[in-house]
Structures are given as structure tokens and as C-alpha cells.
Chains A and B, each alone.
Chain A
């Protein structure tokens, strides 16, 4: 039970921003939200994580709703190399990651 809900698939045009949503309505106060992505034929790679505040790094931005029941991963300019499955994962304490099916992002040139 991944305890998060994501759309099965999304599509974006190259060079445009992409907003990938995730619902985690049963989140508790100390749960972190992590995002990973998996490129074709590769292992998952870490993208970003956050607790309450919005977070930015070189790969993406993470916007967390004020009530923390949802979050959005933002890719500012999608490239063909961003085509992947994106996983939103809720982590409680030191418990291991539980992967759902994620969102398959297609990027159109």
C-alpha cells in the first residue's frame, strides 16, 4: 500500500513546464514526501523530497499543499530525457520506500 495516489500517465510538450500531482490524504505530521523517477531500463533515481515547505533543487521543484494532503512535482522545462515513470512516496520515520505504479510521463518533441 503506497498510500499515495497519482495519475497513471501524463503528456507534455518539450520545453514546457510539467506539473505532476500526488495525493497523500492520510499523511501525518512527520511523514516526508519523496519523489523518484525511473528512466527506461534503469533503476530509480532520487529527484527531490520535502516535509512542509516548498523545495527546489537542480532537477525539479516540489510544492507541498498547506494541509500537506497533496503535493506537486514541477519540472520547469521538460526535455525528452525527462520521459520516465515518476513515483511519489510517503515515508514515515525510517521505514522503507513503498513504490506504487507512479505516473508515466511522455514528452513530445
Chain B
């Protein structure tokens, strides 16, 4: 099993550009999550999904969109990138909500 994979590993965007961060898991997990981590801080939840076709907002959803058309994939879309979105983005998955979460390696995004 590859676990949770994320692409790209690094990206630099200009203000106002958009992009999609990809996340895929091969563990047949129901739950998937997107977090962001600013320097020296803990992780903050952006969006999560409890199954295909179902998504919900976390603590910091503004400026982001998600979709969950399959069990395996949970892409995160940034529209109109802003410098405040400079962060490391982690995707995670779990079988159920209170089970162990498995994290991807992260995407380091810089918006200039």
C-alpha cells in the first residue's frame, strides 16, 4: 500500500492564480481530511469528508473548495490564491472518525 499520497510536493503561485492539490489514499478509508500548518503552529482543519459525495467545512475553509467523487480521491482547490494561503498542506485519511489517521507527506505552497 502506498498509503496517502499528495501531489505536488512544492508549488509557488502568484497572487490570484488557482491550483488543485491532489490527495489519494489506497486504504479504502471512508474519512478524508485536509489540514494546513503555518510555521510553528499546529494543524488546522480546512475541510473533511465522511464518504464519497459528502464534504463538510472545518475551522478554516474560506478560500478553498473540495470535492469527493470517489473513495480514493479528495482534491483541494484554491481559487484566487492569496499570500495568507502560504502554508504546508496535509491530507489525511481514516477508516472511521475516531480511528487512527494516516497523513500524507504534505505540499509546501508559497503564494507571492
Contacts and interface: CB of A to CB of B under 8 A. Distances in A.
B44 interface: yes
B77 to A, nearest CB: 19
Contact of B98 (A32, A43, A45, A98): A32
Interface in B74-106: 90, 92, 96-98, 100-106
Given A43-B104, A43-B105, A96-B48, A91 B42 contact: no
Contact of A44 (B41, B45, B58, B90): B90
Contact-size category for B: 20 to 34
Contacts, number: 51
Contacts of B48: 96
A94 B98 contact: yes
A46 B101 CA distance: 7
Interface in A51-109: 87, 91, 93-102
B106 A98 contact: no
A27 interface: no
Nearest to A85: B42
B2 to A, nearest CB: 14
B90 A97 contact: no
Contact of A93 (B35, B98, B106): B98
10 contacts: A36-B101, A43-B90, A46-B101, A46-B102, A94-B31, A96-B45, A97-B101, A99-B35, A99-B42, A102-B42
Interface of B: 31, 33, 35, 41-45, 48, 50, 58-59, 90, 92, 96-98, 100-106
